[in-house]
Structure 1
């Protein structure tokens, strides 16, 4: 697997956590080892192609196999880096939050898909996804955020950028009416309740759904339908 060399910001460790010098150094070591292996794989692949052009099939095959093994080593280093920085950045995350700092695009996609599926299986209502603002990306273009947005669209989930532009709010209920205001991580799901037919607002956001019928209204409606049915039969 080849991961695009695109990650959130200039630092892999979320700066909002403070410190992180040792964490950043270990992360850089693992990513550096992966880059070295990728360079080695490219060199072996080029040698394999040259051997094939010379008509030396045996050498070409041997070099190709070596390139594959080195590619696996590169993937392993990248996997270690991804897991390592994910644990560091999410050690103190809220239960409804996931931090993607330090992840390459494909890594972030895998993490978000798995997390969404897990949360939906738990009947969770939402998820806050830290995608970064792209301040340190090439031309300040966000790469992680569009990838997460695509995943949400594929899964039919509503989402919005929060007041903190480096974070997204993803609704896991299937409701497409997003609130104007998303709650902070750990504050729960801000969806209005209906009491006596009046909408209760939470946090400034509004979800729209029809008011629930009272038990008395349901009984009256059922009686009317039964009466109509009897009249039709007669």
Structure 2
């Protein structure tokens, strides 16, 4: 009876590991070549060489590079974990899965440090109701926008100007930007309009309801068309 119970426990544990690895594998299959580390809504964004061109900040680029390396190591662990499970080695599969989670944690830490650094640099001399999102990925930008909205509302501000960063101007991030904007508008019941006061800005007004978001597709399409052009002054 004891052996049977142990076997059932091992099988249950194996099934759990399999489901976890399958979920991770599915996430990896949705990653593009420009977003190798995309996993559970965590962006690693474009390559760090591209970021360095834009910001010319060694520490920022170093942190993004370290995050990118951790993402590659994480993906490799998950790949090998799945292979080990298929080969019937549940212990190795679990060990590799744990290592993958550790790399994922380090990736998030490096990306958060990079995001905090570039946000501080871009916003240190700006008024409290204006934020610049250059150098941020979508999930990072959403976090900073939420913080700014709450701050502006507590200060009694009537609006917030958001400068949409070029880091959000890549194809992979453009696809995620629209739902992120919609979520924020609905969550905080704010009115949002594009290209005010300048092209590439979003103008958020408080206390006026959500308003019409029919402009959003045109705004996102415009970002897509202009991402490789120098025509957009702010973005």
1:126-163 deviation per Cα after TM superposition (whole angstroms, max 9, x unaligned): 11111147896349958647633541244221121214
Q: Work out whether 1:44 is the aligned partner of 2:77.
A: yes
Cα 1:90–1:68 shift into 2, 3 Å: same
Q: Work out whether 1:3 is the aligned partner of 2:42.
A: yes
State the structure with bigger RCO (CA 8 A, min sep 6), 1 or 2.
1
Cα 1:176–1:109 shift into 2, 3 Å: closer
Q: CA deviation at 1:91?
A: 1.1
Aligned to 1:92: 125
Q: Distance in 2 between matches of 1:77 and 1:110?
A: 16
Aligned to 2:202: 168
Q: Which has the higher helix share?
A: 2
Q: Whose radius of gyration is greater, 1 or 2? A: 1
Question: Structure 1: where are the runs of 5+ without partners?
Answer: 179-234
Task: Say which of 51, 65, 69 aligns to 1:32.
Answer: 65
How many positions carry a matched residue from both structures? 170
SS of the residue corresponding to residue 101 of structure 1 reads coil
Q: Distance in 1 between matches of 2:174 and 2:61?
A: 22
Q: How does 1:36-75 map to 2 (within 5 A)?
A: 36-75=69-108
So what's the TM-score if we normalise by structure 2?
A: 0.62
Aligned to 1:191: none
Q: CA RMSD in A?
A: 3.2
Greater mean alpha carbon deviation, residues 47-56 or residues 114-123: 114-123
Aligned to 2:143: 110
Q: CA deviation at 1:110?
A: 1.2
Task: Say which of 134, 147, 164 aligns to 1:101.
Answer: 134
Aligned to 2:180: 147
Aligned to 1:122: 155
- Contact 2:128 2:152 (8 Å CA) reproduced: no
SS of the residue corresponding to residue 139 of structure 2 reads helix
1:8-64 deviation per Cα after TM superposition (whole angstroms, max 9, x unaligned): xx9759x7xxxx63x2x2211111110100000010111111111111111111111
- Contact 1:126 1:173 (8 Å CA) reproduced: no
Question: Structure 2: where are the runs of 5+ without partners?
Answer: 1-39, 213-235
Q: CA deviation at 1:114?
A: 1.9
SS of the residue corresponding to residue 60 of structure 1 reads helix
